[in-house]
């Protein structure tokens, strides 16, 4: 048995489980699989996995409900797999505490990338106060932002947005989550704030604001900082 | 309205024919011209045959009349014991309906459909029991003679002199799945009678001399044959209607019946209905309202007659005019009537001597090429019992004691003035000033007060101004003549003026009524859809009758009715309950009616030939009862509204049918296209996987990789197809509601471009967005998908190395977002067709579902925008999305950090 990170796959489709087992084991993960939500919750408690891959459409308990029950006692990073591609489902899962969301069919490459991001966030202590992506550098301790070595002047709101995305780099932040964190809980519906401030933030940070490479839009869901 | 005894015709008409018939039990009628033709025998014979085939049959009620052959046939059939009902010390036997219902056979035999049940039975008539049985899904075989059909009862009485009390509504014949005529020649029947096969010996001779005369039997047989033939005719017509084989009225005849308050009108109406039914002609029932006021009871009768005519399928009208024949003929000409049916007056009126013959004579004389039928009215016992004696005519419809007081006051004032006139002009002139006063009273107050004024002024003139003063005596003979003459002139002119006034008021009212009606018809005819029709109707009725109005249409789930949003009458649960009752029973209810009078408003059913299509509720702001003429105007209004609603319903149905046909055609085309699109990638996945599984010898690593890449490509293609299909079905089901929020167009372009990195990498992409483009309110995901579709399209139809140009700007209140390429142009004729489902521009094959553009257009249109294509003058194709620009921009605030 490999000593790599332990992954629990909760999915009722045997073919998907097999494909995940083969590919993940080939990439050094220790894979455990169950087919129902109830088994998933039980195994998660026994196994204490490093990562959970959860399918939304389970035969016994709805995936979203499984996620809620898991979140009652564990913060184990959880990636949702689903055939439901409506943004409302994604937002619901992310707001319920999922770390990421992938719509079936998905590419293995993408799954591995998301898994790495999700795992990274389990060790916040290791996170540095310096962030670098492309030619943009941010020093969180000094509130200092440069692009190609040149200092960039950000308004306090823009900086708050950027800092939030950096703290969750690589992960999707839903509109609600961002609005709650930056503006406060009474502003969670005011998505136009995000449109305006992300537009100016991109103007200041992106090479080509029309084709952003750093601050990515997740349609109907939220934003993600490329990591 | 008569609520205790619902009109069976109306009740049955509301039973929807074909559909209902499937769920109900089937009714078969064994039908004959008279007793003794062998109906019961034929019924039993058939029942035995069916029983032998294994059908579960019981006898509900059979009367053998002691006929031996019939009794023999009963053997072996299960008989449900009859119910015993005590009535005035005697025990009467009736069919036990509950017993049959509990037994639940497949078929029950019930003899003598027209039988009247003993008091105390559940229903008054046996046919009502039969309806219950049918309702419970039990088939019924029954027997009936032609004289029992309501519409034939009159004719039978005239032929045989026997009044038929036991009648069944004609609609039962329509309801029957099967009608079997048991036919015998009159001679054969009489032979059977004398052989003792019909009645017992002692009754044979009485019967043979009365009912069973050859002449009677021949007439009855004709009737029975005709009724059967008519049924066959109507079955054919029903079929044609069902299959929408349209045809004009076959005969081109249009009938009109003139009705009045008399009891005879009811017969006239039924007579006309039968005739219209046989001719398959539309018919009109008309009441001519004269300036002679009618008593309330008479109005009630007229109303009941109009209701009856309406429930029998007539168009109902009231016209005004003092000359009845003239009014009838004018209307007949207007409506292209070919036959007028009127009743023959019972008594000659003396006045006819002066007016040039009875109105019947004049109608016939002036009718030109219109046929006039004069139907004899004979006084039948039951008709006499329902006669409502007209009350004495009131002096004036609109005058009260105040008007009389006013008239007296005016005469008082004029008399005062006379004191000043007499010294100057003499007492004779007083008569003329008084006459002027009487005329004024007649014009402005009414006939009664004018007559009072005439009397008062004559008295005061005599008392105050004619010698000897202060007595009512007169000395001079010329004074007597003067006073008498004055009195006669005052009465005559007063009366005449008052009549003129009433007629003038009536004309004005008629003009107003016609205008209102015209407006309603005009407006509803011009309305584009049901909502517009109803809004207009609510508005017009509300305005003309000064009322709050609600129109209720059936709920989509089929349970009751719900008020249309255009209604101005606010309804609580109770009011809706009343409307629901009206919808269910098809009768007027609510305020000032016999049913649920506590309701705030009055509710009328919107009745069409095929059933009730809705309910209109009217709450007038004044609590007064509507005068009759307005009541009839309201009814005409409701008739118009019903027509408009029915027209809209038919339109909607036709539209639905067309839509269905179109969608069937499309789904056929779609299925073809999709099965091709599905099979191709599946074939390549399968082929590639097969090759990998059985590599043989010649499969090197490059080839293997190529195969794997093929699998990935094919699955990607399948995935896109499924997404497209899902989008399409969401769009078409109308479930797709754009979730509008403020969006930055630039951001949408960025996401779409990112999605198509692979294809765009091989092309030159230019993005040109107006720098200060405001935020637009739209569904980010959907519009992003449209843009991605357009980009994907551009990639599919242009070779690598070409340019793709995305632009966004604000223009004329729209946000204009365009995707251009410099590939080959689309033939002009195809520029619109490319948005049709599965249409593809002829030319080199391109993979794709053919759904991308129609979906995109659907998505843009769901935002209230447009998506069009044009050939760019510099070469290439440009797709343009136009989305409405919001009037204002949202407020944005800094975060409180």
CA distance B745 to chain A (A): 10
**Residue among A160, A182, A217 minimizing CB distance to B747:** A217
Here the CATH number for the domain that contains residue A62 is 3.40.50.2300
Q: Both tokens of residue B555?
A: 């709920």
Contact A182 B743 (CB under 8 A): no
Model pLDDT for residues B669-712, shown as the tens digit of each residue: 667 767 777 887 888 898 888 888 887 767 788 888 888 888 98
Q: Are B794 and B802 in contact (CB under 8 A)?
A: no
Three-state DSSP state, B21: helix
Domain that holds residue A36: 6-124
pLDDT at residue A194, as a whole number: 93
**Each residue's pLDDT tens digit, B175-212:** 888 888 888 888 888 888 887 777 766 677 777 777 77
Cα dist. B889→A175, A196, B118 in Å? 19, 11, 81
Confidence label for A98 from pLDDT (cuts 50, 70 and 90): very high
Q: Which two tokens stand for residue B800?
A: 């690598």
B395, pLDDT greater than 50: no
Is residue A216 located within the same domain as residue A161?
yes
Contact B749 A210 (CB under 8 A): yes
Same domain, A113 and A170: no
CB atoms within 10 A of CB B835: 17
SS3 B753: helix
- Rounded to the nearest 10°, the torsion over CA B451, B454, B459, B465 is 170
The answer to whether residue B889 scores a pLDDT higher than 70 is: yes
Gap between the Cα atoms of B241 and B244, Å rounded: 5
Dihedral angle over CA of A112, A118, A120, A125, nearest 10: 180
Query: What DSSP string runs through B156-196?
Result: HHHHHS------B-THHHHH-SEEEEE---HHHHHHHHHTT
Q: At what angle do helices B780-797 and B745-755 cross, to 10 degrees?
A: 50
How many CB atoms within 10 Å of residue B817?
Answer: 27
Greatest distance between any 2 Cα atoms in chain B = 153
Summarize chain A as % helix, strand, coil (round to 5). 40, 20, 35
Confidence of residue B846 (pLDDT cuts 50, 70, 90): low
Quick check: is A70 in a domain? Answer: yes
Q: Helix, strand or coil for residue B827?
A: coil
In a domain, A36, yes or no: yes
User: Residues A41, A155: contact at Cβ < 8 Å?
Assistant: no
Query: How many Cα atoms within 13 Å fall on the side-chain side of residue B19?
Result: 5
Kindly list the structural domains of chain B, giving each domain's residue range(s) and its CATH number in brackets, ordered by start: 8-242 (3.40.50.300), 255-385 (3.40.50.620), 401-502 (no CATH), 661-727 (1.10.287.130), 736-884 (3.30.565.10)
Give the mean pLDDT of B723-743: 80
Q: How do strand A222-225 and strand A172-174 relate by DSSP bridges? A: antiparallel
Using the predicted structure, report yes or no on whether residue A65 has a pLDDT greater than 70: yes
Parallel, antiparallel or unpaired: strands B27-32 and B57-61: unpaired
Kindly compute the dihedral angle of the four CA atoms of residues B872, B874, B876, B881, in this order, to the nearest 10 degrees: -30
Q: Could you tell me which residues come within 8 angstroms of residue B152 by beta carbon, excluding any fewer than 6 positions away? A: B146, B223, B227
Q: Are residues A139 and A118 in the same domain?
A: no
Share of chain B above pLDDT 70, in %: 86
Q: Residue A168: how many CB atoms within 10 A of its CB?
A: 19
Residue B628 binned pLDDT confidence (cut-offs 50, 70, 90): low
* pLDDT tens figures, B244-293: 443 334 446 788 998 888 777 888 888 888 778 777 778 889 988 877 77
d(CA B321, CA B817) in angstroms, rounded, equals 69
- Local confidence band at B9 (pLDDT 50, 70, 90 cut-offs): low
* B112-170 pLDDT per residue, tens: 898 888 887 778 888 888 988 888 889 999 999 888 888 777 777 777 777 777 888 87
Task: Find all residues with CB under 8 Å of B413, minimum gap 6, and list them.
Answer: none
Distance from CA of A54 to the nearest CA of B (A): 21
Tell me which chain B residues have a C-beta less than 8 angstroms from the C-beta of A191: 741-742
Highest mean pLDDT: which range of B81-95, B395-409, B618-632, B761-775: B761-775
Predicted confidence (pLDDT) at residue B312 exceeds the cutoff of 90 = no
pLDDT band at B848 (very low <50, low <70, confident <90, very high): low
Give the CA-trace dihedral at B495, B497, B503, B509, to 10 degrees: -120
Least confident of A147-156, B295-304, B353-362: B353-362
The answer to whether A2 touches A26, Cβ cutoff 8 Å, is no
Hey, of B712, B726, B747, which one would you mutate to test binding to chain A, going by the most A CBs within 10 A of its CB? B747
Q: Measured between CA atoms, how close is B785 to chain A, in angstroms?
A: 10
Q: Rounded mean pLDDT of A190-202? A: 92
Residue from A219, A221, A226 to probe the interface with B (highest B Cβ count within 10 Å): A219
Q: Which of A166-175, B377-386, B877-886 has the lowest mean pLDDT?
A: B377-386
Nearest CB among A157, A210, A220 relative to B895 is that of A157
| Residues A105, A148 share a domain | no
Number of domains forming the structure of chain A: 2
**Residue B640, SS3 per DSSP:** helix
Assess whether A181 and A209 both reside in one domain: yes
Does A108 lie in the same domain as A87? yes
What mean pLDDT is reported for chain B?
A: 79
What is the Cα–Cα distance from A152 to B607, expressed in whole angstroms?
Answer: 77
Domain boundary among A86, A108, A124: A124
Using CA atoms of B385, B388, B391, B396 in order, give the dihedral in degrees to the nearest 10.
-170
Neighbours of B297 (CB within 10 A): 14
Helix (H, G, I), strand (E, B) or coil at B428: helix
C-beta atoms of A211 and B741 within 8 A: no
Considering only CB atoms, which chain B residues are within 8 Å of A182?
895, 897
DSSP B31-83: EESSTTSSHHHHHHHHHHHHHHTT--EEEEE---TT-HHHHHHHTTSEEPPPE
What is the crossing angle of helices B264-279 and B296-311, to 10°?
A: 20
Last residue of a domain, one of A124, A157, A192: A124
Instruction: Give the pLDDT of residue B866.
Output: 92
Last residue of a domain, one of A124, A139, A162: A124
What is the maximum alpha-carbon separation in chain A?
Answer: 56
| 3-state secondary structure string across B72-135 | HHHCCCEECCCEEEEECCEEEEECCHHHHHHHCCCEEEECCCCCECCCCCCCCEHHHHHHHHHH
- Per-residue pLDDT band for B6 (boundaries 50, 70, 90) equals very low
Considering Cα of A14, then A20, then A23, then A27, what sign does the dihedral take?
negative
Which is higher by pLDDT, B197 or B309? B309
**In a domain? residue A195:** yes
Is A1 part of any domain? Answer: no
Please check whether residue A200 lies inside any domain of the structure: yes
Kindly state the helix (H) or strand (E) to which residue B144 belongs, with its residue range. Answer: strand B139-145
Neighbours of B585 (CB within 10 A): 17
Contact yes or no for B893 and A193 at CB 8 A: yes
Residue A177 belongs to domain with CATH number: 1.10.10.10
pLDDT score recorded for residue A127: 58
Nearest chain A Cα distance for residue B858, angstroms? 18
Q: Do B896 and A184 touch (CB under 8 A)?
A: yes
Which member of B769, B780, B897 has the closest CB to residue A160?
A: B897
pLDDT at B243 over 70: no
Residue A154 domain flag: yes
Q: Which of A91, A108, A182, A192 to mutate to test the interface with B (most CBs of B within 10 A)?
A: A192
B753 vs A211: CB contact, 8 Å cut-off? yes
Nearest CA in chain A to B720: A105
Provide the angle, in degrees to the nearest 10, between the axes of the packed helices B477-526 and B447-460. Answer: 160
Is residue B800 pLDDT above 70, yes or no?
Answer: yes
User: Which residues of chain A does B893 touch, with a Cβ-Cβ cutoff of 8 Å?
Assistant: 183, 193
Residue B845 is predicted with a pLDDT of 54
Measure the CA–CA gap between A107 and A102, rounded to whole angstroms: 9
What is the model's pLDDT at position B384? 30
| Same domain flag for A119 and A18 | yes
A156/A60 same-domain check: no
Indicate whether A182 pLDDT > 90.
yes
CA distance A114 to A218: 14
How confident is the model over B272-286, as pLDDT tens digits? 887 787 777 788 899
Whether pLDDT at B323 is above 50: yes
How does residue B841 score in pLDDT terms, banded at 50, 70 and 90?
Answer: low
Residue B808 confidence (pLDDT): 94
Name the more confident of A124 and B300. Answer: B300
Decide which of B767 and B215 is more confident. Answer: B767
- Dist CA B345 CA B377 (whole Å): 7
Cβ pair A75, A121 in contact under 8 A: no
Q: In degrees, to the nearest 5, what angle opens at C-alpha B110 toward C-alphas B104 and B116?
A: 120
- Tokens for B383? 């008709």
Cis bond before residue A142 (omega within 30° of 0): no
Q: Is A149 helix (H, G, I), strand (E, B) or coil?
A: coil
Rounded to the nearest 5 degrees, what angle is found at the Cα of B263, between the Cα atoms of B259 and B269?
45
Rg for chain B, CA atoms, rounded: 41
Q: Do A155 and B751 touch (CB under 8 A)?
A: no
> Which pLDDT score, from 0 to 100, does residue B335 have?
76
User: Distance (Å, rounded) from C-alpha B604 to C-alpha B597?
Assistant: 13
User: B739: which chain A residues are within 8 Å (Cβ-Cβ)?
Assistant: 220
Q: Is residue A26 part of a domain?
A: yes
Distances B478 to B328, B459, B475, B483, B484 between C-alpha atoms, Å: 49, 16, 9, 9, 10
pLDDT of residue B357: 55
For the residues A180-196, what does the mean pLDDT come to? 91
Nearest to B775 among A195, A209, A216 (CB): A195
Indicate yes or no: CB of A196 within 8 angstroms of CB of B744: yes
Band of pLDDT at residue A155, cut at 50, 70 and 90: very high
pLDDT of residue A216: 92
Per-chain mean pLDDT for chain A: 88
What are B's interface residues with A at a Cβ cutoff of 8 A?
715, 719, 723, 739, 741-744, 746-747, 749-751, 753-754, 767, 769, 775, 779-781, 784, 890, 892-897
Query: Do residue A181 and residue A113 come from a single domain?
Result: no
Contact A217 B781 (CB under 8 A): no
CB contact under 8 A, A216 and B767: no
Both A113 and A14 in one domain: the answer is yes
Q: What is the spatial distance between Cα B609 and Cα B14, in angstroms, rounded to a whole number?
A: 8
User: Tens digit of pLDDT for each residue in B485-498?
Assistant: 888 888 888 788 87
**B175 prior amide bond cis, ω within 30:** no
Instruction: Please tell me which of the candidates A159, A192, A216 has its beta carbon nearest to residue B892.
Output: A192
In a shared domain, residues A115 and A131: no
Instruction: Pick the range with the lowest mean pLDDT from A173-182, B57-66, B293-302.
Output: B293-302
* Cβ contact, residue pair B751, A195, below 8 Å: no
Which positions in chain A touch B723 (Cβ < 8 Å)? 85
Instruction: Determine contact, residues A205/A159, Cβ cutoff 8 Å.
Output: no
My answer on whether A54 and A94 are in the same domain is: yes
């Amino acid at each position: 048995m490999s000593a790599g990170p332990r992954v629990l796959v909760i999915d009722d489709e045997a073919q998907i489980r097999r494909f995940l087992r083969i590919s993940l084991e080939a990439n050094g993960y220790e894979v455990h699989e169950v087919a129902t939500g109830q088994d998933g919750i039980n195994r998660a408690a026994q196994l204490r996995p490093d990562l959970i891959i959860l399918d939304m459409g389970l035969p016994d308990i709805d995936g979203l409900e499984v996620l809620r029950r898991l979140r009652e006692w564990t913060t184990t990073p959880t990636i949702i797999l689903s055939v439901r591609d409506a943004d409302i489902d994604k937002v619901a899962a992310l707001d319920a505490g999922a770390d990421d969301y992938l719509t079936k069919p998905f590419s293995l490459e993408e799954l591995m990338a998301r898994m790495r991001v999700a795992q990274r966030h389990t060790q916040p202590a290791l996170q540095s106060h310096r962030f670098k992506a492309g030619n943009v550098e941010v020093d969180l301790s000094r509130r200092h932002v440069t692009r190609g070595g040149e200092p960039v002047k950000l308004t306090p709101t823009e900086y708050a947005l950027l800092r939030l995305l950096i703290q969750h780099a690589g992960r999707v932040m839903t509109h609600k989550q961002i609005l709650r964190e930056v503006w406060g809980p009474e502003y969670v519906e005011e998505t136009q704030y995000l449109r305006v401030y992300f537009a100016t933030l991109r103007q200041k940070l992106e090479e080509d604001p029309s084709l952003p490479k750093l601050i990515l839009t997740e349609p109907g869901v939220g934003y993600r900082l490329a990591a | 309205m008569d609520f205790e005894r619902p009109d069976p015709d109306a009740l049955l008409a509301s039973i929807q024919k074909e559909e209902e018939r499937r769920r109900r039990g089937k009714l078969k009628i064994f039908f004959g011209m008279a007793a003794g033709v062998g109906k019961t025998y034929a019924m039993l014979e058939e029942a035995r045959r069916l029983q032998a085939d294994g059908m579960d049959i019981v006898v509900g009620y059979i009367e053998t009349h002691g006929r031996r052959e019939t009794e023999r046939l009963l053997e072996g059939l299960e008989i449900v014991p009859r119910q015993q009902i005590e009535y005035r010390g005697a025990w009467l036997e009736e069919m036990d309906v509950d017993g049959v219902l509990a037994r639940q056979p497949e078929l029950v035999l019930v003899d003598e459909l027209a039988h009247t049940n003993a008091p105390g039975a559940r229903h008054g008539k046996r046919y009502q029991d039969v309806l219950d049985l049918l309702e419970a899904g039990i088939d019924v075989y029954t027997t009936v003679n032609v004289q029992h059909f309501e519409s034939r009862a009159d004719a039978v009485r005239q032929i045989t002199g026997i009044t038929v009390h036991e009648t069944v509504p004609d609609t039962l014949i329509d309801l029957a799945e099967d009608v079997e005529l048991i036919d015998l020649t009159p001679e054969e029947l009489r032979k059977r009678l004398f052989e003792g096969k019909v009645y017992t010996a002692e009754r044979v001779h009485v019967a043979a001399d009365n009912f069973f005369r050859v002449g009677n039997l021949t007439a009855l047989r004709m009737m029975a044959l005709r009724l059967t033939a008519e049924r066959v005719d109507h079955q054919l017509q029903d079929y044609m209607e069902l299959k929408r084989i349209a045809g004009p009225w076959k005969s081109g005849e249009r009938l009109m019946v003139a009705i009045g308050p008399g009891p005879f009108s009811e017969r006239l109406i039924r007579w006309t209905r039968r005739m219209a039914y046989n001719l398959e002609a539309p018919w009109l029932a008309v009441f001519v309202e004269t300036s002679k006021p009618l008593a309330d009871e008479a109005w009630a009768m007229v109303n009941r007659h109009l209701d009856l005519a309406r429930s029998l399928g007539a168009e109902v009208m009231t016209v005004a005019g003092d000359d009845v024949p003239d009014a009838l003929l004018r209307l007949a000409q207007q409506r292209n009537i070919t036959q007028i049916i009127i009743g023959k007056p019972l008594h000659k009126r003396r006045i006819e001597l002066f007016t040039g013959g009875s109105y019947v004579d004049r109608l016939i004389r002036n009718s030109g090429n219109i046929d006039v039928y004069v139907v004899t009215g004979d006084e039948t016992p039951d008709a006499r019992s329902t006669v409502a004696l007209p009350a004495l005519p009131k002096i004036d419809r609109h005058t009260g004691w105040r008007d009389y007081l006013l008239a007296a006051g005016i005469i008082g004032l004029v008399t005062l003035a006379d004191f000043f006139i007499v010294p100057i002009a003499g007492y004779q002139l007083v008569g003329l000033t008084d006459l002027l006063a009487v005329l004024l009273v007649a014009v402005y107050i009414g006939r009664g007060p004018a007559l009072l004024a005439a009397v008062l002024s004559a008295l005061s003139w005599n008392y105050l101004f004619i010698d000897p003063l202060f007595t009512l005596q007169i000395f001079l003979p010329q004074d007597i003549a003067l006073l008498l003459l004055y009195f006669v002139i005052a009465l005559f002119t007063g009366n005449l003026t008052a009549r003129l006034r009433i007629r003038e008021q009536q004309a004005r009212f008629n003009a107003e009524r016609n205008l209102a009606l015209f407006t309603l018809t005009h407006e509803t005819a011009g309305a584009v859809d049901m909502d517009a029709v109803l809004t207009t109707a609510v508005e017009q009725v509300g305005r003309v009758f000064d009322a709050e109005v609600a129109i209720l249409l059936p709920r989509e789930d089929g349970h009751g009715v719900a008020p249309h949003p255009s209604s101005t009458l606010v309804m609580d649960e109770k009011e809706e309950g009343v409307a629901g009752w009206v919808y269910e029973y098809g009768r007027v209810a609510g305020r000032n009616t016999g049913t649920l009078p506590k309701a705030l408003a009055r509710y009328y059913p919107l009745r069409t030939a095929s059933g009730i299509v809705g309910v209109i509720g009217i709450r007038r702001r004044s609590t007064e009862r509507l005068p009759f003429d307005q009541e009839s105007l309201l009814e005409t209004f409701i008739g118009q509204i019903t027509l408009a609603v029915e027209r809209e319903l038919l339109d909607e149905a036709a539209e639905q049918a067309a839509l269905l046909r179109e969608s069937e055609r499309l789904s056929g085309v779609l299925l073809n296209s999709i099965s091709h699109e599905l099979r191709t990638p599946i074939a390549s996945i399968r082929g590639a996987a097969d090759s990998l599984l059985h590599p043989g010898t010649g499969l090197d690593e490059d080839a293997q990789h190529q195969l794997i890449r093929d699998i990935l490509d094919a699955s990607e293609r399948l995935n896109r197809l499924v997404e497209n299909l899902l989008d399409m079905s969401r769009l078409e089901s109308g479930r797709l509601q754009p979730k509008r929020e403020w969006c930055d167009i630039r951001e949408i372009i960025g996401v779409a471009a990112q999605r198509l990195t692979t294809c765009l990498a091989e092309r030159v992409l230019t993005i040109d967005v107006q720098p200060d483009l405001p935020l637009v309110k739209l569904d980010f995901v959907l519009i992003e998908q449209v843009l991605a579709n357009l980009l994907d399209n551009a990639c599919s139809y242009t070779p690598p190395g070409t340019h793709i140009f995305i632009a966004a700007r604000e223009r004329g209140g729209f946000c204009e977002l365009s995707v251009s390429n410099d590939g080959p142009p689309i033939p002009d004729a195809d520029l619109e067709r490319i948005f049709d489902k599965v249409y593809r521009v002829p030319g080199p094959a391109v993979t794709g579902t053919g759904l991308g553009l129609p979906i995109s257009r659907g998505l843009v249109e769901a935002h209230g925008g447009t998506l069009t294509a044009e050939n760019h003058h510099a070469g290439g194709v440009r797709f343009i999305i136009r989305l409405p620009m919001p009037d204002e921009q949202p407020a944005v605030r800094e975060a409180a950090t």
